[in-house]
Amino acid sequence: MQLLKVEENGTAKLFFLSSALWFCLGTLEGFTCATQLVIPDLYGGIAGLVFGRVRPMHTTTMIFGFAGSGLLGAAHYMMPVLLRTSLWSEKLGKLSLWIWNLAILTGIVALDMGYSQGREYAEWIWPANVGILLSMALMFVNLMQTAANRQEKLMYVSTWYIFGGLVYTWFIYFFGHAVFNFKGAITGLPDAILAWFYGHGIVGLFLTPLAIAISYYIVPRVARSPLYSHVLSLVGFWTILVIYTSIGTHHLLQTPVPVWLKTMAVSGSIAMIIPVFTVLVNLWLTMRGRLGLFHADIGGKFIVAGLVWYILTCTQGPIQALPVVQRVTHLSNWVIAHSHMGVFGFSGMIALGGLYYILPRITGKPLYSGRLADVQYWLLILGMSAFFLVLTAGGLVQGHAWLNGTTVYRTLPMIHIYFIVRAASGLLFIGAAFIGAYNVIRTIRGDQAQGERIFGEEFQGELQ
């Protein structure tokens, strides 16, 4: 069967291609939402384009389709390399890939038709959720069998993060989406607690471990230096898995959730400084004095940018969890800026870094166009920076207005200009997505643009 054709690194390559294509769709969905915030009746009430349907389509496309697929593609390449063996089954890998994409497509189409559980980041209907869980289970079996057949005795920290991310995500997805209930969401306050246990966990226990795994793999290779501390890497691994599971309730501080659970969530949010800065210190010390090498490698450039956004995200996060800060920021555009910084600025940029570093090594040929990759990089840096600044500022205006008793409809004219800039910055994301998809497709085909700068001296040595 052609869909399950056995080829070396075929699973990783198709995950990367999927990521690039989902990125295009996800940015278009986001722009559709952004333009409606500027001109609410722009699309004339077309059911499939209303904000309430397109917004969850956008978030889930970006989390699972773009970032998730890119990170999983890198995982399917890194595991065999780190374990000095071949992927146990390329057929099983491709089967998990197609189920993954079919589940995403099912969830998005259902949302566009109006079928939703109505829960933040957990809107998909039951069949789509079963598909995601089945796909992840197949990935786990495939990678576990790969590890069982390994030639390398030492399990490098990236493999720990990959397995940890898959296991934890499977369980938080199962309970957070209420997959045990065929009808979908449960009711009342327990549903809110469960939903945010998942909603925050999908970033911290799915995207984050896989992004860190890629960083731990690529940073030492680009820096041409051993990882600064294997001990620190394991401290970061265990602390993130222990602490992160309890912090989702900081989204519900204004609700009648038990006080002990709120206290645990706020305390855990502050304690997240431990795993975050353990990882960052370890990686920064590994690349210390070698930043020039990262500038010369497009994958390395994306990784460094993602790590900078990780610092900003995880410095802002604990502060944002404090009740005194949430009085101003809760439910405002500040939160939207923060979530985009985490999902796209950190995880998305590192997913792209993994794609650009690994894809030439899969195809055996240089990236199609270094210039296009550079253009995409700067479009995303500018777009994300503008997005973060304008929504953070707009959120503060919004939050202080509410705090002083200004009604919602009187607040909207105050932040209209921020929505305009937000939509304009979305054009940068769209351009970057389509440029990236074109570059990926041409690279997979083995094409090479004329007169191009070829990134990565180390890769040139590998080719020779």
State pLDDT tens for residues 291-334. Answer: 999 999 999 999 999 999 999 999 998 999 999 999 999 999 99
Count of structural domains within the chain = 1
**Residue 120: what pLDDT?**
86
Residue 451 φ/ψ region, left for φ over 0, alpha for ψ in the -120 to 50 degree band, beta for the rest:
left
Burial 408-442 (b: 16+ CB within 10 A, else e): eeebeeebeebbbbbbbbbebbbbbbbbbbbbbeb
Please enumerate in sequence order all residues whose Cβ is within 8 A of that of 372, keeping only pairs 6 or more positions apart, or say none.
435, 436, 438, 439, 449
Contact 68, 207 (CB under 8 A): yes
Contact 293, 222 (CB under 8 A): yes
**Residue 229: what pLDDT?**
95
Average pLDDT over residues 259-267: 93
7-11, 78-82, 457-461: lowest mean pLDDT where?
Answer: 457-461
Report if residue 463 sits inside a domain.
no
Confidence category of residue 246, pLDDT binned at 50, 70, 90: confident
Report if residue 261 sits inside a domain.
yes
Q: What is the largest CA-CA distance in the chain?
A: 68
How far apart, in whole angstroms, are the C-alpha atoms of residue 217 and residue 214? Answer: 5
**Residue 446: what pLDDT?**
87
Question: Tell me, what CATH number does 191's domain have?
Answer: 1.20.210.10
Average pLDDT over residues 48-66: 96
Report if residue 459 sits inside a domain.
no
**Residue 452: what pLDDT?**
65
**Residue 191: what pLDDT?**
86
Report if residue 250 sits inside a domain.
yes
**Could you report the per-residue pLDDT of 122-137, keeping only the tens digit for each?**
999 999 999 999 999 9
How far apart, in whole angstroms, are the C-alpha atoms of residue 228 and residue 246? Answer: 30
Contact 8, 73 (CB under 8 A): no
Report if residue 462 sits inside a domain.
no
Contact 293, 258 (CB under 8 A): no
Residue 356: what are its φ and ψ, rounded to 5°?
A: -70, -25
The residue range of the domain holding 283 is 2-449
**Residue 450: what pLDDT?**
65
**Residue 4: what pLDDT?**
82
Structure tokens given for 46 = 């077309």
Report if residue 454 sits inside a domain.
no
Report if residue 457 sits inside a domain.
no
Report if residue 244 sits inside a domain.
yes
Confidence category of residue 464, pLDDT binned at 50, 70, 90: very low
**Residue 461: what pLDDT?**
45
Look at the pTM and tell me if it is higher than 0.75.
Answer: yes
